[in-house]
Structure 1
Amino acid sequence: MRTKAFHAFESKIHYFDDDIEFIDVMRLGIVADELTDDDSDYVLKNVDPDKHRHLSRRQNSEGSRKLIMTHLRTTVYSAYIKDVYEEVTDYLRTILEQAAEKGFEAGRLIGEHNFKIDAKDVLSAGNWEYVTKKIADSVFQALESERSTLKLLEKVANKLGLEVEKQLIENALPYLEVRHLLVHADGKASDEYKNKYPNIRLRGDKVFINYVFLTRMRAAIKAMMEAFDREVIAKDIVDAQHTQA
Structure 2
Amino acid sequence: MAAEHTVRGLPRGKEGSLSVYICTVCGYDYDEAAGDPRHGIPPGTRWEDVPADWVCPVCGADKSMFENQGGKAETPAPAPMAAPAGQAAPQQGADAKRLSATASNLARAVQKQHRAGMADLFTQLADFFDGQSSPAGDWQTAADLLKEDLAGRYPAAFAAARADGDRGALRALNWGEKVGKIQANLLKRYNKEGDAAFEGSAFFVCEACGFIFVGEQAPEICPVCKVPRFKFARVGRGASA
Q: Same fold (TM over 0.5)?
A: no
TM-score bracket for the superposition, by shorter chain length = under 0.3
Flag the structure with higher helix content: 1
User: Computing the radius of gyration over CA atoms, which structure comes out larger, 1 or 2?
Assistant: 1
Normalised TM-score (structure 2) = 0.26
Flag the structure with higher strand content: 2
Normalised TM-score (structure 1) = 0.25
